Amino acid sequence: MNLPNRGVSCLEQDKEIGLKALKAQGFFMSMWEPLSRIVGGRDALEGEWPWQVSLHFAGAAYCGASVISKDWLVSAAHCFQGSKLGDPRAWRAHLGMRTQGRARLVAAVRRIVVHEYYDSRTYDYDIALLQLGQPWPDALSHVVQPVCLPPASQRARRGLRCWVTGWGQRQEAGERHDPPAPILQKAEVEIIDQTLCHSTYGIITARMFCAGLMSGKRDGCKGDSGGPLSCQSNANGKWFLTGIVSWGYGCGRPNFPGVYTRVSNFAPWIHKYVPSIL
């Protein structure tokens, strides 16, 4: 089995166990608005992005998230605006899933922590943490793994090629209705120069960056915000959660890349709630 994107996750001790288990089971491996449906992507392999989570609100897929520990996820703050969306009892986290409706684990959410400085007008500080009702079991380590968190010193450098993943519409809504994709989609994008990002949107803060293709064609889109932008280290093969899908203008439009939350800026804040993360 060939899993070109797996690399090494942050639970290195479970990686070989997970790959062997996958082999044994026969798997192949418009407006300013929140984003994250994948435009210009292709089907992901089974177990290829084991930190990817689908968050369901009141029984329907609503946002994405990433596994960062045995019982904590990270997502976008704007997913939880309002009293109803802020109620953890209404949410379920679908883990270990490639195809919607076929999650290996559907977990209750115990707690939602939205960043105290989140600004709903500008999407600044667009980050939130979710604590699961109980840790995911070790038996699922072949399909569920945490992604590494980048240290504060690790910057998203211009030209770095990374992957955005999620379920849903594969083109911007228009005359033809495009239903959400049932299979997890992946699209390779690159980090855009911060000066260019700022000149494009004008309201880019130090906690945001742009990624995509200036020619368009590959991007996140509406409906699954909070999902990961994953970048692999050339030094050790580990995958890092460099960005969280946040907002943008349309989907896959030329000269309008997607805007992401810069996760490295929030390492101390995350560690305050999840001190077990290395």
Point out the residues that are catalytic. 78, 126, 225
Distance CA 45, CA 29 (A): 5
3-state secondary structure of 173: coil
Q: Radius of gyration of the chain from Cα atoms?
A: 17
Asked if residues 106 and 93 have their Cβ atoms less than 8 Å apart, the reply is yes
105 phi/psi in degrees, rounded to 5: -145, 130
Distance CA 269, CA 97 (A): 28
Distance CA 192, CA 212 (A): 7
Catalogue the E-assigned strands of 115-196.
128-132, 161-166, 185-191
Residues 6+ apart with CB under 8 A from 145: 9, 10, 11, 14, 15, 18, 50, 51, 67
Strands 128-132 and 60-67: unpaired
